[in-house]
Amino acid sequence: MNENLVVPAQGPSPPPKIVAAIPCYNEERCIGSVVIKTKKYVNSVVVIDDGSSDSTVEVASGAGALVRGHIQNRGYGVAIRSALAAGRELDADILVILDGDGQHDPAQIPGLLKPILDGEADMVVGSRFLDGRTKSPLYRRFGQRVLNTATAVGSGQSLSDSQSGFRAYSAKALEALSLSESGMAVSSELQFAAGRSGLRVTEVPISVSYEGELKRSPIAHGVSVLTRVTVLFSLRQPLVLFGLPGFAMVIAGLIFGARVLTIYSNTRELALGNALGTILLTLAGLLAIFAALMLQAMKELMRGGAAEMVKEVKEAIARKSPGKRKQ
């Protein structure tokens, strides 16, 4: 080895770039203070304006936020997708997403960052229910438990607060997450997507303020999310959701059929009720099994096509910018 070779000293690694994204719709009353408080804990703040008709954009800009806007209101899920895209665009090492209505306390951002900074998680969910610090109304707790259970069963991942809007994502998560929901069910879809991508997910306790007027009916919101979670589950596990019940119905139909034959053998009379049950159960079961097989086939085709598309995109990016930092 050349003893005269001078090896440059390795300086400390640069601090991570932390970006906060705030999806909002008609939040002129609160967005300014939320932006100002959030700026204390991050490098930059991006407000995702979902087609507001008030002065949200002007107030957010005046408070020092970058603004990415939708021409018209497109839904919370689309706003979340825009927030994730903004994180990738700004080359964030960590992206924090919080609501613009003042329910989330920006002072709790460091708590969300810690598991990612410590290398323990790729996605951190702020949970209102981990330590009981948030006193939400009883109907909210009941509805949240229903949605938590449905999302956990469907996604294979259990969280105490599947609908939380206060989250942090590593650069790895930003690249891996692919979403399609346009409404409030995007929070559940994130749980499905994290499981599908093999991301490490953890929760930290947060507090939430429920002051202010509700923007949507909790019942309508819960039913809407539960419906979409069922759809997500059917796409993820069609054989479980349709195949197993279909098989059970076919078995029940055969049992009824055997009973029809037994009664006819003993009495020479046709048991119409049992015969009708045999026909209905068998047909319903066969239809459910057929639907399960079709959905499973579509799932496999979509997975193969998506994997090929991702591969082509990555190869194209690598060809165009070979020196770009890899996440």
Check: CB of residue 148 under 8 Å from CB of residue 161.
yes
**pLDDT for 190-221, tens place per residue?**
998 998 889 999 999 998 887 655 556 566 65
The rounded distance, in Å, linking the Cα atoms of 74 and 112 is 28
Are residues 255 and 165 part of one domain? no
Domain termination site, one of 202, 218, 236 = 236
Are residues 85 and 149 part of one domain? yes
The b/e string for 296-324 (b: 16+ C-beta within 10 A; e otherwise) is beebeeeeeeeeeeeeeeeeeeeeeeeee
Domain termination site, one of 185, 213, 236 = 236
pLDDT > 80? residue 182: yes
Q: Is 35 within the bounds of a domain?
A: yes
Q: Is 225 within the bounds of a domain?
A: yes
Q: For residue 168, give its domain range.
A: 18-236
pLDDT > 90? residue 67: yes
Q: Is 230 within the bounds of a domain?
A: yes
Of 107 and 281, the structure prediction assigns the larger pLDDT to 107
User: How many CB atoms are located within 10 Å of the residue 3 CB?
Assistant: 4
Q: How confident is the model at residue 324 (pLDDT cuts 50, 70, 90)?
A: very low
Q: Is 294 within the bounds of a domain?
A: yes
Q: Is 286 within the bounds of a domain?
A: yes
Q: Is 325 within the bounds of a domain?
A: no
User: Mean pLDDT lowest for which of 74-83, 108-117, 139-148, 265-274?
Assistant: 139-148
Are residues 245 and 122 part of one domain? no
**pLDDT for 255-296, tens place per residue?**
888 888 888 888 888 888 888 888 898 898 889 888 877 876
Are residues 193 and 96 part of one domain? yes
User: How many CB atoms are located within 10 Å of the residue 152 CB?
Assistant: 17
Are residues 259 and 227 part of one domain? no
Total domains in the chain come to 2
Are residues 205 and 79 part of one domain? yes
Q: Is 9 within the bounds of a domain?
A: no
Q: Is 2 within the bounds of a domain?
A: no
Q: In the chain, at which residue ranges do the beta strands (DSSP E only) sit?
A: 18-24, 44-50, 66-70, 94-97, 123-127, 167-170, 201-205
